[in-house]
Structure 1
C-alpha cells in the first residue's frame, strides 16, 4: 500500500510504543513465581479475612484438579459467576491453571437472562460460583442442551462441590499446569462481555499475550511491588478489574478487596485503579497512603485529574476491552498542558487514520486504530462483527491485526494523543455536527464544576449535567457560548450532587436521559 510507505516520520515516532521483552508465557505464572518466592506474604484480604500466596496457590491448584476431573480442558471457557471475595480469586486462578479462560460475571447484579446469554455464547459447560449464589446460576436453556456443572468454590466442607449434570468429557490426559497442552501466550486468558452498540453483549476473547503485555511492562505495571496494597474496587465483569486483580497478584502485592464502602478500601491502599466516576467518590485528602492512581473507561474531567495529580502519580489511560484494558497511558501533572491519553504502551501502536485508513497529518483529527500485542483475538462467535472492527495491519504487516477503536483523536506536536470523543457519540443538532465531549470539557472549566456530561435530548436540543449542585447553570451556559458555536450551547444545564453510575462504575447515560425527559431544574 503506497500510503504506508509515504508517511510523516512522526507517524512512526509517535505511534509506536517501546519494544520490550515480556516475562512469562502466561499471566498466572507471574503469580506462581511470587507464591514460590514469598509464600507467607498476604495475597489478598477481604472484610477481615486474609489468604497468603502459598495458600491461594494451593487452593487454586486443588480447584484446578476438580475442574480437570469435571472435563475442563485447555481452551475451554469456565464461567466465573461470583461476587468480590477471596473465592473469586481462587476460581480465577484455578481456571487459568486448568488451561481454560475465565468468563466473569457479578452474579449478585447480573440478570439471569444475561448470565444465560453469556453461558450460551461462551459455550460454558462448567460454572464456578459461591455457596450462597449457586441457585442463581441458570440452566442453559432448551436450545443449549444440558444443564451446566456448577462447582461451588467455598463449599461448607471445604471441598469444591460440583452439582448438575456432568459434561461427559474426560479429564485432560496430561493434567493442568504450564506444561498442559496449548499452554502458550496465545491461549485465551478471559472472555469479557461488552455492552455492545446493539445492546446485545459481545464476548471479547483476550489472550495471555495481551494481558501480560500491559501488566508486566511499564507503565502498565504501575510500579506495583511486594508490600504494596492494591485496591480492588471494580466489577469483576469489567476488564479494568483484571488490572486490579492480576496486576496485584503478578507483582507480589496485597489485593484489598472492598466491601460496600469504596472510600474505606481506597484509604488503606497504595494503588487505585478506577473509572473517573468511581474515583470522583473518593477524597484524596483521606488517602495519604496512595502513591499511584490510574483511570480509564471514560473521559476523565481535568479538575479530577489535577486534584489527584497533586497528591500522587496520576495516569490518564485509554483503551477499549478489545485492546486489553488500556493501550495508551499519560503521566499527568497539574501544571501540564492539555490532559491527554499519552502514548502507546510497550509493544503497541496507535494510528490516527482518515476514513480511507490513510495516516492523518500531525495535528489533524482522525479515527484511532490500535495495533500490536494489545489487539485481542476478536468477538466470540461473531465473525461478522470481528471482520468489521478488526483488520490486517498494513503498517506492522506480518499477519498482525489492528482494531478500530471508534475513538477520535489527534497527535500534539510533541507526540501526545488528544482524545476527542467517539465517532458513535457525534450528534447533529439543528443540522450541525457537535461533539458532546467538547461541550462537557468547556463546562468543566467553569469555577466550581468538577464533572460535566452532555447528551442529545432530541434533534434540536442538548442537555448538560454538572456537578456539584452549586454550579451556576447560567454561568455554565455563558462559558459554552463564549467558547463554542451557538449550536453547541446546551438548552438546559442541570446541576446534580453526583452523576448516576452503572454497575461497572461508569456514568449511567440512560438514567441521565430519563432525568432530562422528566425536566425540572437547571436553566
Structure 2
C-alpha cells in the first residue's frame, strides 16, 4: 500500500485533496464538438481577423475539404502534419482540417521560429506534409519526399472525402517545449487529454455561443489551444489579434493569457470581460487581485505534458493566499518526496500529476520519458503520472500552494533560496506590479521590478525585513517593462544580460 507510512488522517486527506471530481466528458474528440457548433449555427461568426470573418459553416466546409486533400496526400490517423503559420483565418482551417484527417497538428509560428528549429521539428515528428501560408513558404525546410500546401492559395476539393476513424487516444497536437538541454522536446497530446480539460468545467471557462475570445498567444504554445479550441468547441467568436494585443482584448468576454501578457492589458478598458484564466508562469498577487475585482479570475498551473493546465482556482481578492487550487476533473495531483513517497499534508514536495491529463509522452526520447513519466501507484495498473518539477504543498483546507520550480531553488552562499519567494515580497511593495529574481552568481541575487518608478531601496528593505540576509538581492533594477519570450513569458536570459550591462556601465 503506497500510503501506509502516513497517518490515517493524512491518508484520507491525500486522497480527498489530490483527486479531482470524476465527471463524464461529453465528447472525446474536440473537433467533433466544433462540428456540432457548425451544424447548430452555421451562420454564426467563428473567427475574425483584421476585418475579415469566417462563419462556422464556412470553417467546417473548408476544413472538410482540406481533410480530403490531406487524405489524398496519404495522411492517416496517427500521422503528424506541420502547421507552420502566422495568426490568421487560414490557420484555423489548417488546424481543423488536420484533426478531421485524423492526424495531430504540429504548430509553429513561421514568422518567429528559426529555420534550424523548424527543421528539427520536421525530423523529430516525421511529418510528410507541412501546411503554411504563401508569403512564408520559402522559410519552410522541406526534405525530399515532403509535400507543402499553402493554405491561402492552393485550391481545395469541392467535396469532402471519407471520414477517418479517429480514436480518443490518437494524437491531437504535438507541442515542442523549450526543454532543458537547448533541444526542443516534442510532447504528444491526445484527443482524450484535450477534451477532458476543454469540455468540462472549469476548463471550459463558461464560454457560450457568441462569446468573444481573443487569440493572443503564440500558436506553438499550448495555451493557444485553450484559446482556439476552447472557443470554437463552445460556439464563441475567436478574435485573432494583429499587432495590438489590447485592441483584441477590448471586446472580449473571456481571456486566456500568461500573466506577462495579461499585465499589458488594462482591465478598465475591457468592460465585457466575464472570465480570465492565467497560466504558464507564476501570477503576481497584485495582477490577480486587480482582475478578480472585475471578473471570475482563475489562477491555473500545469506544464504542456499535463495538457494545458491540471489545477485551477477561482481567486478571491480577500483570500489570504493566491493558490493554484485543486486538480481539474478526472485528474490527480500528488505532493511527493525525492523517493516518490507521499508527503503529509502541509509539507513541501514535488508535484506529480496523474489521471486523464497525462500526455502520451515525448517523441523519440525514451530516456526523457523514463525520467519524467512513471507508473502511478496511487491510481494503480494502467495509469501513469508525470513529474512536473513544480514545488508545492497542500494548505490545511486543501488548496495547492505553488512554491516555484525545483530548478528555481538555488544555492546562495551555501543556503537554499526559493527565487519566487523573494519576488513575492517585492510584489507587495507599493507601486510594484511585477518582480523577477534571478541568481547572478554563487554569492548574490539580482531582482527586477516593474514599473520603472518603483523605489529600489524601499524594495530591498522590504525583503530584508521578512527574509534571511542571504535572500536579499545585491541589486534591484526598476524597469519600465520586463522583456518577453515569443510565448508571452518573462525572458530570463535577457534580464541577466540587462544586469550585466548595468554592472558594466556602473564600473
Counterpart contact for 2:67–2:161, Cα < 8 Å: no
Change (3 A) 1:5 1:100: farther
Tell me the TM-score normalised to structure 2 length.
0.97
Is residue 4–residue 394 contact of structure 1 (8 Å, CA) maintained in 2? no
Q: In structure 2, what is the equivalent of residue 171 of structure 1?
A: none
Decide which of 253, 256, 266 is 1:283's aligned counterpart.
Answer: 266
Q: Which residue of the partner structure matches residue 36 of structure 1? A: 39
2:135 to 128, 132, 136: 132
Deviations 1:349-396 (A, max 9, x none): 000011111111111101000000000000001011001000000000
Among 291, 310, 333, which residue is 1:350 paired with? 333
Q: Does 1:20 align with 2:23?
A: yes
Aligned twin of 2:322: 339
Residue 257 of structure 2 is aligned to residue 274 of structure 1: yes
Contact 2:65/2:156 (<8 A) preserved = no
The residue that corresponds to 2:462 in the other structure is 479
Once the 2 structures are TM-superposed, how far is the Cα of residue 248 of structure 1 from its aligned partner? Answer: 0.3
Q: CA shift at 1:159, angstroms?
A: 3.8
The corresponding residue for 2:147 is 149
Match of 1:468 in 2: 451
Deviation (angstroms), 1:3: 3.0
Give the Cα separation in 1 of the matches to 2:320 and 2:59: 45
Whether 1:85 aligns to 2:85 is: no
What is the distance in 1 between the residues matched to 2:281 and 2:253? 23
| Native 8 Å contact 2:354 2:386 kept in 1 | yes
CA contact (8 A) 1:187 1:208 kept: yes
Structure 1 equivalent of residue 247 of structure 2: 264
- Which residue of structure 2 aligns with residue 168 of structure 1? none
Q: Which residue of 2 aligns with 1:95?
A: 98
- Count residues in correspondence: 501
CA distance in 2, matches of 1:189, 1:3: 35
| Cα deviation, residue 510, structure 1 | 0.7
| Structure 1 segment 297-376 matched on structure 2, within 5 A | 297-376=280-359
Shift in Å, 1:5:
8.0
Return the alpha-carbon distance in structure 2 between the equivalents of residues 2 and 118 of structure 1: 39
1:381 aligns with 2:364: yes
Q: Which residue of 1 aligns with 2:489?
A: 506
Say if 2:442 is the partner of 1:444: no
Query: Among 215, 226, 230, which residue is 2:209 paired with?
Result: 226
Give 3-state SS (helix, strand or coil) of 1:58's partner: helix
**Shift of residue 424 of structure 1?**
1.3
Match for residue 123 of structure 2?
120
**Aligned partners of 1:5, 1:93: CA distance in 2, in Å?**
49
Aligned to 1:163: none
2 CA distance for matches of 1:5 and 1:187? 38
**Alignment gaps of 5+ in structure 1:** 141-145, 161-173
CA distance in 2, matches of 1:319, 1:159: 38
User: C-alpha displacement at 1:139, in angstroms?
Assistant: 2.6
TM-score, normalization: structure 1?
0.94
Work out the CA distance in 1 between the residues paired with 2:303 and 2:23: 22
Is 1:111 paired with 2:114?
Answer: yes
Q: Deviations over 1:191-240 (max 9, x none)?
A: 00000011110000000000000000000000001010011000000000
Q: CA deviation at 1:25?
A: 2.4
1:2-26 CA-partner distances (Å, limit 9, x unpaired): 4368552110110000000001121
Contact 1:97 1:176 (8 Å CA) reproduced: no
Q: Among residues 69, 72, 88, which one is paired with 2:72 in the alignment? A: 69
Cα shift at 1:425: 1.5
How far apart, in 2, do the equivalents of 1:32 and 1:176 lie? 15
Q: State the alpha-carbon separation in 2 of the partners of residues 152 and 71 from structure 1.
A: 17
Is the CA contact 2:3–2:11 (under 8 Å) kept in the aligned structure 1?
Answer: no
Contact preservation (8 Å) 1:465, 1:493: yes
Query: Is the Cα contact below 8 Å between 1:64 and 1:176 reproduced in 2?
Result: no
Partner of 2:388: 405
Q: CA deviation at 1:519?
A: 1.9
Deviation of the 1:176 alpha carbon: 4.4
Partner-residue secondary structure (3-state), 1:479: helix
C-alpha contact 1:99 1:176 (8 A) present in aligned 2: no
SS in 1 for 2:361: coil
CA contact (8 A) 2:361 2:373 kept: yes
For 1:264 and 1:294, the matched residues in 2 are separated by 18
- Report if aligned partners of 2:129, 2:147 keep a CA contact under 8 Å in 1: yes
**Contact 2:2–2:341 under 8 Å retained in 1:** no
| Aligned residues: CA RMSD | 1.5
Q: Distance in 2 between matches of 1:57 and 1:273?
A: 24
Deviation at residue 131 of structure 1 after TM alignment: 1.2
Gaps of 5+ in 2: none
**Residues 23 and 216, structure 1, Cα contact 8 Å, conserved in 2:** yes
Q: Deviations over 1:7-63 (max 9, x none)?
A: 521101100000000011211000000110111100000000000000000000001
8 Å contact kept, 2:334–2:353:
yes
